[in-house]
Amino acid sequence: MFSRLPFSGILSLSCRMSSTSASVLPTSLLRSTAYVGGSWIRSSDTFPVLDPATGTELLQVADCGPSECREALKAASGAFQAWKEVPSKERSNLLRKWYDLMIQNKEDLAKIITAENGKPTKEALGEIIYAAGFLEWFSEEARRIYGDVISVPLKDRRALVLKQPVGVTAIITPWNFPSAMITRKVGAALAAGCTVVVKPAEDTPLSALALAELAHQAGIPAGVYNVLPCSRQKAPSVGEILCTDPSVAKISFTGSTATGKILLRYAADTVKRVSMELGGHAPFIVFDSADVDKAVAGALASKFRNSGQTCVCTNKFLVQKGIHDVFVKKLSVMMKKELRVGNGFEDGVTQGPLINEKAVEKVEHHVQDAVSQGANIEVGGKRSGVGKNFFEPTLLSNVTAKMVCAREETFGPLAPVIKFDTEEEALAIANSVNVGLAGYFYSQDPAQIWRVAERLEVGMVGVNEGLLSSVECPFGGVKQSGLGREGSKYGIDEYLEVKYVCYGGL
């Protein structure tokens, strides 16, 4: 079904690059074939990767199906026995080398992100630093996997706890952070001694493959990190194998709640370990006591990063009536001053395209639904003339909790503002959704800060802060936002089994 390629000449053999992308994309890191068992593998089918800003084709990439998937799992299973026995210091050194190579190649990696995802180059560079940080962090954590010795009531016994790698891990990632969503999982998995098969999002496979090239250069052994690109059409069949094959011990997924539920059902049959980082619907509450300028700055950062396409982006603003009018006024002034829509490769652009037209239609639907029920457009409100995947940063006031944008995840540059009276009312609206990933609030009242931080039903809270992700801190949600935590000292536990050893007859 597929053939192995020599390392040299990969591009000439396998890439069909459009002339526009050729001038921008770094050919040294561009790969268009799967990476399995340490080799670049061509598939009989290919699919196009598009530039969301222009709609042009960047590359044709291998469209892997079930047979390539089984091959990748065989490679990961074959490599697991040896990798789990590699001393942790050596695993740590290899992850560190991979990190160093990411930093050395950061500009090129960022260009690949801007080309396939659309986010502005500065943001893409920020993602690469963040993504590389997970390899650095878990290279350090690899050496800090501790067991326990437990005292037991019987004199002739000792009880030990060993931590061991879970096994082969299937990793399915989204397009909104094409690099960081991979390293956040793979760094932890490899540090723990697991081997992985990564199925990147069909929109953004080039970043995953560029990381494979750097993993290869870093000396990560064959079969430890495998990448299996595939089209949206093949994702269900590949996903089913990844989540049901008996050789897979663990699934780690970031994406929509709907897809997460499908994968959870698959995983049930063979009772696999799962980590799920699913959709969010972050509330951003501004209380009367807030410093309004800080709240506006936080609002801008939290709402419009990646054009509103992150799972921790604010979905709805709840603003107390005493501060409401000034907040809306100042936010609209700042939006007009600070946000510029355009191609992510252009200087000064802060708002790139949305990932595809379906995403634009969703934002449009949320705006139209709100306006038809009485919301006011303060800023934006329609598609941008820049191109078909662009939408103007939009601010709506007079929004109610019943409107679609207050109940569903928009995943785009729409900031709806609901006016509220009391803290109880704000918490009731914030907690009324069935997901709970991030939540933000601005207040200068210490008692209120404690109360609200404890009562918000989310996995992460930003208090007087609109950006909270950091490799050192636990990322994850409650309710239908998922299972488990990534990054931080907790992230590695997702890839470790606890084994109790009872040592008797002493």
Task: Answer yes or no whether residue 63 interacts with ligand ADP by CB under 6 A.
Answer: no
Least distance CB 113 / ligand ADP (angstroms): 16
316 versus 362: smaller Cβ distance to ligand ADP: 362
32 versus 398: smaller Cβ distance to ligand ADP: 32
Residue nearest to ligand ADP (CB): 239
Distance CA 76, CA 86 (A): 15
Least distance CB 199 / ligand ADP (angstroms): 6
Q: Given the rule CB under 6 A, which of 106-114, 233-241, 300-308, 377-385 is the region that contacts ligand ADP?
A: 233-241
Tell me phi and psi for residue 62, to 5 degrees.
-55, 130
Task: Answer yes or no whether residue 262 interacts with ligand ADP by CB under 6 A.
Answer: yes
Task: Answer yes or no whether residue 439 interacts with ligand ADP by CB under 6 A.
Answer: no
Cβ-based neighbour number of residue 464 at 10 Å: 15
13 versus 404: smaller Cβ distance to ligand ADP: 404
233 versus 422: smaller Cβ distance to ligand ADP: 233
Distance CA 75, CA 218 (A): 19
DSSP string, 58-107: EEEEE---HHHHHHHHHHHHHHHHHHHHS-HHHHHHHHHHHHHHHHHTHH
Q: Given the rule CB under 6 A, which of 9-17, 99-107, 172-180, 476-484 is the region that contacts ligand ADP?
A: 172-180
Tokens 């210490």 belong to residue: 446
| Among 120, 178, 229, 255, interactor with ligand ADP by CB under 6 A | 255
Task: Answer yes or no whether residue 264 interacts with ligand ADP by CB under 6 A.
Answer: no
Task: Answer yes or no whether residue 247 interacts with ligand ADP by CB under 6 A.
Answer: no
User: Is 299 in contact with 395 (CB distance < 8 Å)?
Assistant: no
Task: Answer yes or no whether residue 172 interacts with ligand ADP by CB under 6 A.
Answer: yes
Write out the H or E segment, with its range, that includes residue 367.
helix 357-372
Tokens of 196: 């992985």
236 versus 504: smaller Cβ distance to ligand ADP: 236
Write out the H or E segment, with its range, that includes residue 210.
helix 205-218
Distance CA 462, CA 432 (A): 19
Given the residues 64, 311, 313, 405, the one annotated as active site? 311
Tokens of 440: 């933000």
| Among 58, 142, 201, 370, interactor with ligand ADP by CB under 6 A | 201
Distances (CA, A) of 279 to 270, 329, 434, 470: 25, 30, 10, 19
User: Is 475 in contact with 277 (CB distance < 8 Å)?
Assistant: yes
Phi-psi region of 193 (alpha: psi -120 to 50; beta: other; left: phi over 0): left
Task: Answer yes or no whether residue 399 interacts with ligand ADP by CB under 6 A.
Answer: no
Mark whether 502 is an active-site residue: no
Of 304-343, binders to ligand ADP (CB under 6 A) are none
Task: Answer yes or no whether residue 202 interacts with ligand ADP by CB under 6 A.
Answer: yes
Binding footprint of ligand ADP, residue count (CB under 6 A)? 14
13 versus 235: smaller Cβ distance to ligand ADP: 235
17 versus 262: smaller Cβ distance to ligand ADP: 262
Distance CA 75, CA 168 (A): 10
97 versus 305: smaller Cβ distance to ligand ADP: 305
Task: Answer yes or no whether residue 174 interacts with ligand ADP by CB under 6 A.
Answer: yes
- From the centroid of its chain, how far is CA 178? 7
Q: Given the rule CB under 6 A, which of 38-46, 142-150, 228-236, 492-500 is the region that contacts ligand ADP?
A: 228-236
Distance CA 19, CA 119 (A): 21
Distance CA 226, CA 209 (A): 9
Task: Answer yes or no whether residue 65 interacts with ligand ADP by CB under 6 A.
Answer: no
Of 91-150, binders to ligand ADP (CB under 6 A) are none
| Among 236, 322, 374, 504, interactor with ligand ADP by CB under 6 A | 236
Strand partners, 171: 198, 252
| Among 239, 283, 308, 393, interactor with ligand ADP by CB under 6 A | 239
Distance CA 368, CA 504 (A): 70
Q: 119: closest CA among 305, 337, 316? A: 305
Least distance CB 172 / ligand ADP (angstroms): 5
> How many helices (H) and strands (E) are present in the chain, helices listed first?
16, 23
Least distance CB 201 / ligand ADP (angstroms): 4
Mark whether 311 is an active-site residue: yes
Which stretches of the chain bind ligand ADP, using CB under 6 A?
A: 172-174, 199, 201-202, 232, 235-236, 239, 255-256, 259, 262
Q: Which residues are catalytic?
A: 277, 311
